[in-house]
Amino acid sequence: MSDIPEHQQRTATLPTYPHYRSLVPPLTEKLHKGQGGRIGVLGGSSDYTGAPYFSGMAALRLGADLCHIICDEDAATAIKSFSPDLIVHPYIKIRAANATQDKKKSHEIWMQTFDDINALLKRVHVLVVGPGLSRDKGMLQSAKHAIEKAKELEMPIVIDADALFLIQNYPELIHGYSKAVLTPNVVEFGRLCDAMNIDAKDQESEELPVQKLAQALGGVTVIEKGKRDMISNGSKVHIVSNEGGLKRSGGQGDILTGMLGTSLAWGQAYEKNAWSHSHPVATEDVAMTACFGACVINRECSRLAYDKHKRAVQSSDVLQEIGPFFSNFYDKPRPTATWAAAIYG
């Protein structure tokens, strides 16, 4: 972490590996379908169909039981063709709404879209917003509605890609909602900081910019992706520094959002005592611990895929590493393991 000033490094802590492991539901006949996580992904515009696939499949590969994709009707067939494991809902009917000259009919189409989204959100544990969303007004309108409804339902929300553009322009949408997780890359992070009047490259103050941004947004969790992932909820900071792959291919950020969705769903099941445990992770630390673990796993799977394929690596290769790595990472009993031993052991 030599590029982070020492006085800022001192603010960082990290959860233990056994704490993250305690959030993972055991594979047991006592749990039923759905308790391993039901994830909703809203994205998939007519131009971007791969992103929601990567997010949804990452959620399933990590261990979620079900994943629902809410997308534009013109994206649905392509997304369905990628995998039968995804449940695809073509609720967003932009073409139909734009085609009619009847304002009443257009309004009815959008009201049906919102009603369909409302009904589906009651069936999932976590909402992921952004993969393949685009900046189409109808897609952004659907994302805004879904975020507002998810807040009413008090569910975790992971916000990425063009959904961050929405937050950049309407920060009040998630301000003060502690169950929101934002995942900006370096460019998106800079834009969010500009919107909140924060110096994204501040090297002088005691607090890292990611912590300041989380505070300015009222205590949401921010994951600043980069050479290392820096996570903050405004009060705590975790820095994820295990090695990732050196090739940047489209879809890797979407894979992280899917893993975050599953990890946060596990955190909810942990809080609801879906299985017997001794509550080693305090309630206020569950989300940060879940985010830390997802970032660690994402970076290691990226590294493993890169080691095999080098410049040819694609995000589909990263997906293939999730199951084998996680088996090694979790399935062996390691009640006192360090992060390094869990990752590389």
Feature table: binding site for ATP: 225-229, 244-253
- Burial class from Cβ neighbours inside 10 Å (0-12, 13-18, 19+) for residue 243 reads middle
**Is residue 158 classed as helix, strand or coil in its secondary structure?**
strand
Tell me if 171 sits within 8 A of 184, measured CB to CB: no
What residues form the annotated binding site for (6S)-NADPHX? 132, 185-191, 254
Residue with tokens 């929101």: 180
Q: What is the crossing angle of helices 252-271 and 286-309, to 10°?
A: 150
d(CA 35, CA 26): 10
Helices (H) and strands (E) in the chain, counts: 14, 10
Would you tell me how many other CB atoms lie within 10 Å of the CB of residue 280?
A: 14
- Residue 78's alpha-carbon distances to 81, 85, 139, 140, 187, in angstroms, are 5, 14, 17, 21, 29
Q: Which positions ≥6 away from 39 have C-beta within 8 Å? A: 56, 59, 64, 66, 67, 68, 124, 125, 126, 128, 258, 261, 262, 265
d(CA 160, CA 233): 16
- Around 152, how many Cα atoms within 13 Å sit in the side-chain half-sphere? 10
In DSSP terms, 239 is beta-bridged to 230
Helix, strand, coil shares, percent, the chain, to 5: 50, 10, 35
What residues form the annotated binding site? 132, 185-191, 225-229, 244-254
Tell me if 315 sits within 8 A of 250, measured CB to CB: yes
Tell me if 139 sits within 8 A of 92, measured CB to CB: yes
The DSSP string of 300-313 is HHHHHHHHHHGGG-
